[in-house]
Amino acid sequence: ASKIYVNSKAKTFKKLNCYSEIFQLDEDVSKERVISLIEKLNNDSLVHGILLQLPLPSHLDAYDFLSKINPLKDVDGFHPENLGLLFQGTPRFIPCTPLGCIEILEYYKIDVKSKHVVVIGRSNIVGKPIMSLLSQPFKKGNATVTICHSYTKDLSKYTMSADIIICAVGKPNLINGNMIKDGCIILDVGINRINDSSEKGYHIVGDVDYDSVIDKSHSITPVPGGVGPMTIS
Ligand code: GUN
């Protein structure tokens, strides 16, 4: 998923005639090396935005680095200062995947006010910021938001009462047609690589069993081609 995103970001920058540079570090890179690269970019006046692609290898803690990025260059909105601003209702940079989801809801004129939105996944990248955005009194806000995660008992109990489901877990087929109510709107944020016998050797699916929900749901974002491109945008 990271490679797909990073390459798409670089391609989009090129298309827009903007400059971008990818620093691909070794998997066993030291904490000091990553911090020194971040500091170099923080101090480079020609660099206006820094994205640290997540997830990181298991020996590194994302917080150690995200908190070192200059908050004014933190276009991902993951620095504690930017997350804090979002959570107190005065956002500066909004994380791009949640923003892409909001854009989709706006474009299709899907009202969220007083609706029950079930967010599955509690990551800092998607789950927590989208919960914050949709529950606050913003233009696309004032929803009742339930956050589900790996310790949620009986996930169906929540998804069955959802007007809108936003699923960002990374588990193929986590949600199927028996778990949703008629007319549910689904944003599938999952990106999962499934190995197959095609020329490429794999295909990409989301977290939702698309075929089983397509007749029952009001609408669903496809994977690939749904939330992913909006995140890049
Ligand atoms: N990994 C998955 N989504 C994202 C994202 O939006 N930004 C970064 N930096 N890493 C990610």
215 CA distance to ligand 1 middle (Å):
31
Mutate to test the pocket of ligand 1, among 76, 93, 232 (most ligand atoms within 8 A of CB): 76
CA diameter of the chain: 53
Residue nearest to atom 8 of ligand 1 (CA): 53
199 CA distance to ligand 1 middle (Å):
28
Residue nearest to atom 11 of ligand 1 (CA): 54
Q: Is 220 in the pocket of ligand 1 (CB under 6 A)?
A: no
The reported pLDDT for the residue numbered 201 is 96
Helix (H, G, I), strand (E, B) or coil at 116: strand
Q: Which atom of ligand 1 is nearest to the CA of 95?
A: 6
Share of residues in the chain with pLDDT > 70 (%): 100
Q: Is 230 in the pocket of ligand 1 (CB under 6 A)?
A: no
Q: Which atom of ligand 1 is nearest to the CA of 2?
A: 1
C-alpha distances in Å from residue 157, one per residue of 77, 143, 160, 209, 213: 32, 18, 6, 18, 17
Q: What pTM was estimated for this model as a whole?
A: 0.94
Q: What is the pLDDT of residues 131-187, one digit of tens each?
A: 999 999 999 999 999 999 999 999 999 999 999 999 999 999 999 999 999 999 999
Q: Is 74 in the pocket of ligand 1 (CB under 6 A)?
A: no
Cα–Cα distance measured from residue 92 to residue 83, given in angstroms and rounded to the nearest whole number: 9
Q: Is 52 in the pocket of ligand 1 (CB under 6 A)?
A: yes
The reported pLDDT for the residue numbered 128 is 98
Cα–Cα distance measured from residue 112 to residue 133, given in angstroms and rounded to the nearest whole number: 11
Confidence category of residue 58, pLDDT binned at 50, 70, 90: very high
6 CA distance to ligand 1 middle (Å):
9
User: What are the residue numbers of the active site?
Assistant: 9, 53, 76
The reported pLDDT for the residue numbered 41 is 98
Cα–Cα distance measured from residue 8 to residue 199, given in angstroms and rounded to the nearest whole number: 21
The reported pLDDT for the residue numbered 1 is 73
